[in-house]
Structure 1
């Protein structure tokens, strides 16, 4: 069996939403322009541009080296945990939640192999940290990217509106980190962890490309920005383009097409209209509950056109990333990277109570300060 077929077989979300899109296209055909609207091309182009930049930063070794340097300065397990959680949250604001995990979880596994760090606890904390950190930034996760492109808010205005929710979530993650990790010292040698050489030229190119892509997206030129990125990377870093997660991009395209069509079916429209989404609490609860059932990116697509306040929806679906593993793709990625026994059980034992504590506190903070 060819490698790409084996890999495709593991992409259950892609297969499921692609089948939904195909079945609906056959059963309820629509004009081509409607499919183009559902496809959310500016959002997809923005996501592609960010993925290219992020893959370049990852390939350069810059983040791995910086993280290892931070780890070397830790004096205890709790300090190390706070450092890793903070770095993970900060990276997720710029490099997206899933890519931050691709960088930090392997580093965490390496640290665990030469120290007494409880690896699976740390991975669970990092999954919570990326969900909290990425909530602050318009480019931190796919649902924020979609909502940012939809609202056309300036970058900093989006950040300010999400700040109260982020503040509550991140403080709770830090408190959990200090309470859950054991006391004790840790001895680390950064040279044993960071074996990746740093390519300065690739790092400079990728960081410059990331800044230019964000500027292009803020001025509603995401498609042009993504196209322009291909030139320098195709000429100078072609291997980076080959390592971009194209199946992830295809998954979001399938989600947009499948759910875009699904939400415009007559009976679904009537069901959504029966919800009083003008009520802030109803909108908040709907965003969280739908995230628990179908993940927060599809939940955003499902509710977006019916939500009178897109930023309130942003808060809801970001909080909905906690709880069950499917609430956020980042949770599933963390579990897949860690490959630890009983990892899913430990995640749920922590993440579900975390959601129950976090949800009311974030709602109060957003309503009071938002």
Structure 2
């Protein structure tokens, strides 16, 4: 009994974010009850369904051995830790512009973990760098993250015009991430444990099926059928790859559901709305600061929804909430995904030690670049 009690206490400490937002959901429901339709809207079922589908597909790719095989091939060709780290960071940023920020993390973070298992790459540092890189890379593209997609559709701008308007901000962000990568990673060479490279067999049927499932899920999300896609993938894996389905991080889904409900409700409290009405959001600097601060409090996607109807410049708001993805982990849900996938001891503390100063440096530089070149 004592061992079980200790185990539960450790699990609760690990799931503190889930518990905190679950308490927020309950508190707001008691203090400010709303119709059931509002809770369904705040829950963002398509987003949760998309996350479930991605988890299913990526778990299949992991279990197939393909990630471990790719890790060995990559490490064998890159010989310095800084070169390897910069390659992973650049790949994360590039993928996030075309596959969205969460998909790129689901691909790169497992690869990083596999690489860390066969060489001396500092995985905890790489998880932080990849979280920063995905925020930088996704800033450029109208489909790179949810807030850009929302603002792009709201402003009805051409795809290329939106991307060009975001280019100065994205360029500054990525340059800072690249410099941090070179400064923070050690100078040494990759020390390859060759005995671990050759020991990973690849299950071709599971690998092929899981990659097809990932592509199908991305397409389903793109065309508004995330729920159907997630249910189809879950059913297929339940029939054909039950072990992979059992290893999915279901508590991650529960955590995001609690975050969506709690922050969605909080953002629509009358007191919050009245406070925003007093701000002069027609001023670029005020809107920029408001977007960053709101992102630190309620994450950048809810912050976008909160400020959307009050902002006179969709690009200014887009720059602000993308910068707001740095700083506190809650600033971007991509940060939470990266840390959760990496599962590194003290990962959250390490993230804040780097990301908060990064925000303080990045925010004024991005604002100057955007105002000068935008």
Q: TM-score range by the shorter chain?
A: 0.7 to 0.9
Q: Aligned residue for 2:88?
A: 84
Q: CA separation of 1:212/1:179 partners in 2, compared to 1, >3 Å: closer, same or farther?
A: same
Contact 1:105 1:337 in 2 (8 A): no
**Contact (CA 8 Å) 1:101, 1:127: kept in 2 or not?**
no
Is 2:107 the counterpart of 1:106? Answer: no
Deviation of 1:194 (Å): 6.5
Q: Is the 8 A contact 2:140 2:170 kept in 1?
A: yes
Tell whether the 8 Å contact from 2:327 to 2:355 is kept in structure 1 after alignment: yes
Which residue of structure 1 lines up, in the alignment, with residue 202 of structure 2?
A: 198
Residue 277 of structure 1 pairs with residue 281 of structure 2: yes
1:19 alignment counterpart:
23
Tell me the secondary structure at the aligned position of residue 89 of structure 2: helix
Residues paired across the two proteins, number: 362
CA spacing shift, 1:258–1:151, aligned 2, 3 Å = farther
Unaligned regions of 5+ residues in structure 2, if any?
A: none
CA deviation profile, 1:185-205 (whole Å, cap 9, x unmatched): 444255535744322222222
Q: Distance in 1 between matches of 2:15 and 2:52?
A: 18
Does the alignment pair 1:261 with 2:296?
no
Q: Please name the residue that 2:62 is paired with.
A: 58
Distance 2:321 2:12 in 1: 27
Deviation at 1:328, TM superposition (A): 4.5
Cα offset, 1:307, TM superposition: 5.0
| Contact 2:92–2:105 (CA under 8 A) maintained in structure 1 | no
Q: Summarize the alignment of residues 88-237 of structure 1 with structure 2, pairs less than 5 Å apart.
A: 88-90=92-94, 94=99, 96=103, 99=106, 102-107=109-114, 109-111=116-118, 115=120, 121-135=125-139, 144-145=145-146, 148=149, 164-189=168-193, 191-193=195-197, 195-237=199-241
Structure 2: distance between partners of 1:328 and 1:283: 18
Q: Distance in 2 between matches of 1:369 and 1:236?
A: 53
Provide Cα deviations, 1:169-188, integer angstroms capped at 9, x if missing partner: 22322223234444444442
**Quick one: structure 1 residues 217 and 365, their matched pair in 2 at CA, closer, same or farther if it must change by over 3 Å?**
farther
TM-score if structure 1 supplies the norm length?
0.78
How far apart in 1 are the matches of 2:309 and 2:248? 30
Per-residue CA shift, 1:285-316, capped at 9, x if unaligned?
22322333455455456545655666654543
**Mapped pair 1:74 → 2:78:** yes
Instruction: Tell whether 2:39 aligns with 1:31.
Output: no
Q: 1:338 aligns with which of 331, 341, 344?
A: 344
Deviation at 1:255, TM superposition (A): 1.9
Give deviations 1:38-64, integer Å, cap 9, x for gaps: 222222222222222222223223233
Moved more, 70-79 or 311-320: 311-320
Partners of 2:219 and 2:50 in 1: CA distance:
11
SS of the aligned residue for 2:275 comes to: helix
Report the CA distance shift for 1:21/1:178 in structure 2 as closer, same or farther (over 3 A): closer
Structural RMSD (CA): 3.8
Give, in angstroms, the shift of residue 138 of structure 1: 7.2
CA shift for structure 1 position 209:
1.8
> Do the aligned partners of residues 368 and 182 (structure 1) sit closer, same or farther apart at CA in structure 2, a change above 3 Å counting?
same
Matched, 1:359 2:363: yes
Aligned to 2:290: 286
1:270 Cα shift? 0.5
Deviates more, 1:17-26 or 1:293-302: 293-302
TM-score for both structures, normalised by structure 2: 0.78
